[in-house]
Amino acid sequence: MKFFETISSEEISFANVLISLTLALIFSFILRWHFITYGKTLSNRENFSSAFPYITTTTMLIIIIVKSSLALSLGLVGALSIIRFRTPIKEPEELAYLFISIALGIGFGANYHIVTSFVVLVLLLVMARFSVVRSKALQQHIYLTIDIPGRPEKNELIDELSNAIAQKTTFCDLHRFDMRDEGFQVTFFVDVPSSQNISTLLDDIVAVAPRAEVSLLDQKRIPGV
């Protein structure tokens, strides 16, 4: 009996559990929002991040239970050895967010509320900053050439094209305009935030000018530029 009394480290406090659970839920939803907003993975970020609250609270519950008994913690090692995780990880970024979610559960489960909150908030701020800087660095500078056959009202059509392009780009400038017998050609110099905006940009151009032929030329690929 004395042996089992010595391995019991502390009693579980309901107040501490309630505080840990509240913080775990709050920070897990903050982590989910952060991943949806600043994550760069192409998979469905909303579905993937929906597991963060479950991972955080489950990890917190495990830590709260096993920290009260050395026997339980030793038994946990054997129990986890038979578990195999089959969730496919497509990007290292996803693995990083999973580890942060687990770290939240461990920190709050061990009652390190202030340290865990501070470290995770700083880490998320740093990750958000790097994400913004990386997005600006990856911004694509493109020459967008549009061939429009026939003799439409060129002034109205150019205005409609300019408005449609400006909505999907961070910079839009009419670079060149060529009038020909069979139609006219207009070239815009645009800054596209990401490659995902290009497909929607093309759809908008086709909606304005269904018969138009569109070509894209990355300025970075031009020799000497």
CATH number among 3.30.70.360, 3.10.129.10, 3.20.20.100, 3.40.50.11540, domain 140-218: 3.30.70.360
| H helix runs in the chain, sequence order | 2-7, 14-38, 45-49, 52-66, 70-80, 92-109, 113-137, 154-168, 196-208
Please give the residue that has the higher pLDDT: either 148 or 219.
Answer: 148
How confident is the model at residue 100, as a pLDDT? 92
If pLDDT is split at 50, 70 and 90, which confidence band does 74 have? low
Q: Is 139 exposed, middle or buried (0-12, 13-18, 19+ CB in 10 A)?
A: middle
How confident is the model at residue 81, as a pLDDT? 54
**Mean pLDDT (the chain, rounded):** 76
How confident is the model at residue 23, as a pLDDT? 93
> What does the alpha-carbon distance between residue 173 and residue 216 come to, in Å, rounded to a whole number?
15
Please give the residue that has the higher pLDDT: either 217 or 107.
Answer: 107
How confident is the model at residue 212, as a pLDDT? 78
Structural domain spans, the chain: 2-136, 140-218
Please give the residue that has the higher pLDDT: either 156 or 9.
Answer: 156
Q: What's the angle, vertex CA 25, arms to CA 21 and CA 26, rounded to 5? A: 115
How confident is the model at residue 32, as a pLDDT? 93
- Put simply, whether the predicted model's pTM sits higher than 0.85 gets the answer no
pLDDT value at 201 more than 70: yes
How confident is the model at residue 198, as a pLDDT? 73
How confident is the model at residue 131, as a pLDDT? 77
pLDDT digits (tens, 9 = 90+) for 51-71: 899 999 988 988 888 876 666
Lowest mean pLDDT among 2-11, 144-153, 210-219: 2-11
Over residues 42-50, the mean pLDDT reads 76
pLDDT value at 206 more than 50: yes
How confident is the model at residue 8, as a pLDDT? 45
- Contact by Cβ (8 Å): 146, 186: yes
State what percent of residues in the chain have pLDDT above 90: 19
